[in-house]
């Protein structure tokens, strides 16, 4: 049995959701994925792959609040402590279990080992943090160098991540193409607007409240997916909105495909999904999160998506999405990537 540990960061559901196609591709190549994460990311992947073994890792306890940079700075020591602890857990797992042939970490700093090939997934070789960008990028690149390869979910020319993933430094980086759990389908459009929310609290709930207030009396058919992974799925009607706590991949794919347009955060995994499905969307970057603000502005300049800042939201602003410039030809993950993981 050739086991590979797949460990996404628990920061919203983006890192976990973009590991779905990785896990499926590994299964197709007769590897046995072992899921390692914490919190909602772990719960989500347990629901997607109930048959797979899981490892619970310590939480980085990331939250936004009003001052994201300051919050992250304060939590720096706790994040490093969690990274050391998760490294110890992975080391112990490797000692106690045979057949582990590799590790794939999506932004989990401590999930690597010198005993098996270790891969790091990120679209942010350069971590945008305002005036601290050179410092945060330097330390992130030091982490990347601990791994054997760095997989960047984008085209070779950094088409969708822009300067976030561009670097002349040798980090064993490989551009692996657009990474999405979805496949494009032509379905009848039954919904006018689909709102998909994600990300840490309290920002997720604040945006939800604002959008519900705006669309409560709208004459359109609107579905709001809260991105709250709970024990069971719930649906309720509130004014013009159908509110669903969460959707797993198959249902969400169909709902996006059957919607005229999408409103969501400008998280990179959401962007990959929208591009794959060739979907009109309006992006609302999380206030104070430099990465999302950059991606929203960059992709608007490239004429892929419209965006509106959270403070400027109006119904009128949320009804004018741009058309995508062109479709992405669907292609599966290159299985040659897995040649790094040798058999026992």
Half-sphere exposure of 334 (CA within 13 A, CB side): 14
- pLDDT for the residue 185: 86
Instruction: Report the mean per-residue pLDDT for the chain.
Output: 90
pLDDT at 108: 96
Assigned token pair, 332: 């599966």
Instruction: Give the pLDDT of residue 61.
Output: 75
pLDDT, tens digit, 9 for 90 and up, residues 47-57: 999 999 999 99
Is 266 in contact with 292 (CB distance < 8 Å)? yes
- Tell me what the mean pLDDT of segment 96-109 comes to: 96
Bridging pattern class, strands 241-244 and 259-264:
unpaired
Residue 19: Cβ within 10 Å count: 30
Domains in the chain with CATH codes: 3-178+332-340 (3.40.50.2000), 191-319 (3.40.50.2000)
Q: Residue 211: is its pLDDT beyond 90? A: yes
Its pTM stands at 0.90
**What CA–CA distance (Å, rounded) separates 70 from 115?**
36
Mean pLDDT of 211-217: 91
Top mean-pLDDT range of 198-202, 213-217, 232-236: 232-236
**Which residue matches tokens 């959270």?**
310
Q: Is 46 exposed, middle or buried (0-12, 13-18, 19+ CB in 10 A)?
A: middle
Asked if residues 275 and 160 have their Cβ atoms less than 8 Å apart, the reply is yes
Give the span between the Cα atoms of 127 and 109, in whole angstroms: 14
CB 17, CB 48: distance < 8 Å = no
Q: How far apart are CA 247 and CA 229, in angstroms?
A: 8
Res. 67: pLDDT tops 90: no
- The pLDDT tens digits of the residues spanning 147-162 come to 999 999 999 889 999 9
Q: What per-residue confidence (pLDDT) applies to 63?
A: 61
Q: What is the pLDDT of residues 296-306, one digit of tens each?
A: 999 999 999 99
d(CA 298, CA 287): 16
How far is the CA of 295 from the CAs of 67, 111, 138, 270, 299, in angstroms? 19, 27, 20, 11, 6
pLDDT at site 209: 95
User: Does residue 344 have a pLDDT over 50?
Assistant: no
pLDDT tens digits, 274-320: 999 999 999 999 988 889 999 999 999 999 999 999 988 888 777 77
Q: For 183-203, what is the mean pLDDT?
A: 89
Position 330 confidence tier, pLDDT thresholds 50, 70, 90: low
């Amino acid at each position: 049995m050739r086991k590979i540990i797949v460990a996404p960061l628990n920061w919203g559901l983006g890192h976990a959701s973009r590991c779905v196609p990785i896990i499926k591709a590994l299964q197709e190549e007769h590897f046995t994925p072992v899921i390692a994460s914490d919190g909602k990311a772990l719960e989500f992947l347990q629901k997607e792959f109930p048959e797979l073994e899981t490892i619970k890792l310590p939480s980085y306890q990331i939250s936004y609040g009003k001052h994201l940079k300051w919050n992250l700075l304060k939590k720096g020591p706790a994040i490093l402590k969690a990274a050391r602890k998760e490294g110890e857990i992975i080391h112990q797992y490797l000692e106690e279990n045979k057949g582990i042939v590799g590790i794939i970490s999506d932004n989990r700093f401590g999930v690597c080992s010198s005993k098996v090939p270790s891969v790091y997934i990120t679209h942010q070789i350069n971590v945008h943090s305002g005036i601290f960008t050179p410092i945060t990028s330097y330390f992130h690149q030091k982490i990347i160098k601990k791994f054997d390869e760095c997989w960047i979910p984008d085209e070779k020319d950094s088409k969708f991540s822009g300067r976030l993933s561009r670097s002349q430094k040798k980090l064993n980086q490989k551009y692996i193409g657009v990474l999405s759990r979805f496949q494009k389908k032509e379905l009848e459009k039954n919904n006018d607007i689909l709102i998909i929310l994600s990300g840490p609290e309290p920002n997720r709930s604040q945006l939800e409240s604002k959008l519900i207030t705006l669309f409560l009396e709208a004459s359109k058919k609107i579905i709001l997916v809260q991105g709250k992974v709970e024990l069971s799925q719930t649906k309720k009607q509130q004014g013009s909105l159908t509110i669903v706590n969460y959707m797993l991949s198959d249902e969400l794919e169909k709902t996006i495909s059957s919607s005229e347009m999408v409103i969501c955060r400008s998280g990179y995994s959401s962007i990959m999904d929208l591009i794959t499905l060739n979907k009109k969307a309006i992006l609302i970057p999380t206030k104070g999160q430099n990465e999302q603000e950059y991606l929203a502005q960059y992709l608007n300049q490239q004429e892929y998506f419209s965006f509106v800042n959270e403070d400027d939201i109006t119904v009128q602003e949320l009804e004018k999405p741009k058309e995508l410039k062109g479709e992405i030809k669907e292609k599966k993950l290159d299985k040659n990537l897995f040649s790094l993981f040798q058999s026992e």
